[in-house]
Structure 1
Amino acid sequence: MTLATLEAEAQTVGLTIRGAFHPTPGDMPPAGCATLLLLGPNEPVFWQHYAAAPESRDAGPDPLDRWSKRVIGALALGWGGLAQFPSDGPPYPPFQKWAESSGRCWPSPTGLLVHDDAGLLISFRGAVALPHRIVLTAAAVPPCTTCAEHPCETACPVAALRPDAPYDVPACQAFLRTPQGADCRHNGCLVRRACPASARLNRAPEQAAFHMAAFVKD
């Protein structure tokens, strides 16, 4: 069982491994975990997999979370591991800490996590804790170190995300409810889309609108 083999299997169901590491006790991993795999959408095909699934059409609550638990749960079972999800809790698994420990995510100038490949559009649908160690790839290079313009710092129309202050969630949600916020609401956050690393994902507009609708409703 290699990292490449596991990633190839995850990609058959619309997911990919966005980080993997050998946790220490300070990472607060599940008991018995020797390797932790972080699973996120494999863009742009991820949304096609979800849209074809029964959870997307059954009118039940939290359809994407239910899809993630079914699909990642099946992967974990086949790999002999334990599935973990951001919605498990409280207490909730420390996904942000795990992401940074993976060597593929870092705080961006706006405070949001940035990923070496997914940029500011990084997200995790779940994780799998394996009871054995597998060989991992070397740590990646933070994309912000090679980004000369840092467009994320000025992309927010209401400065809800900026380098010198915490994320102003109420201001962001209020803007999204206005006609001026339609672009963000239908196509995704302008700050996340401004990241050059994010641009190559080609995320489906339907996917962006789904997440933004859930965010505004909250």
Structure 2
Amino acid sequence: MKRRIYVDFDGVIMDTWPFFYEVLQENDYELYEKLINKSLTHDDDQKIIKILNGLDWKQVIDKSLPINNSLQELKELYESNLFEVSVLTHCNSEYEAMSKTNLIDKHIPGLNVIPVYRPLRKDEAVNPKGAILIDDYGKNLETWEEFGGIGVKFSIDNDKKYNFHQIDHISKIINIIEETEDDKYEDLELLETNA
């Protein structure tokens, strides 16, 4: 059975956040400040979802760039056929999901894109047990690991806030997989020694 790898879209594959931040700054600077300072309330989250629903996602994607050659690295990972690779992305509308899927289909035909419609969590949309999630959002990784998955933090800035494996290129997931496989074998050896 192949190892399942789920890859987030926004902030991992494509750098969509700068465009969104720009729109938010122009429309609601106070809400933008709360987002940057991570002090959002539930009502603020609902306002952000409303703004995200109103975006022209084709334009968002057209104005965004791949992060660290992510499309090519994701294509190579998928085409290696060593893993069961899918894109797992939060979406606020069908239009957003379609726009993201169209981009992936254009660059990596056949790669499965799984939209996760809010308020559903990623660990509720698919079974995380034993699967890897590459995501830039620590809270997604926390719940992923809580339900038996392996969280891998994608960060350009070497984010030490969370205690996850960390990568800044999708291709580096191979190193993490080798590490986790080594850990699994070490655990088995300890069990055999103690038996």
**Fold shared by both chains (TM-score > 0.5):** no
Relative to its length, the structure with more helix (as a share) is 2
**TM-score, structure 1 normalization:** 0.27
**TM-score, structure 2 normalization:** 0.29
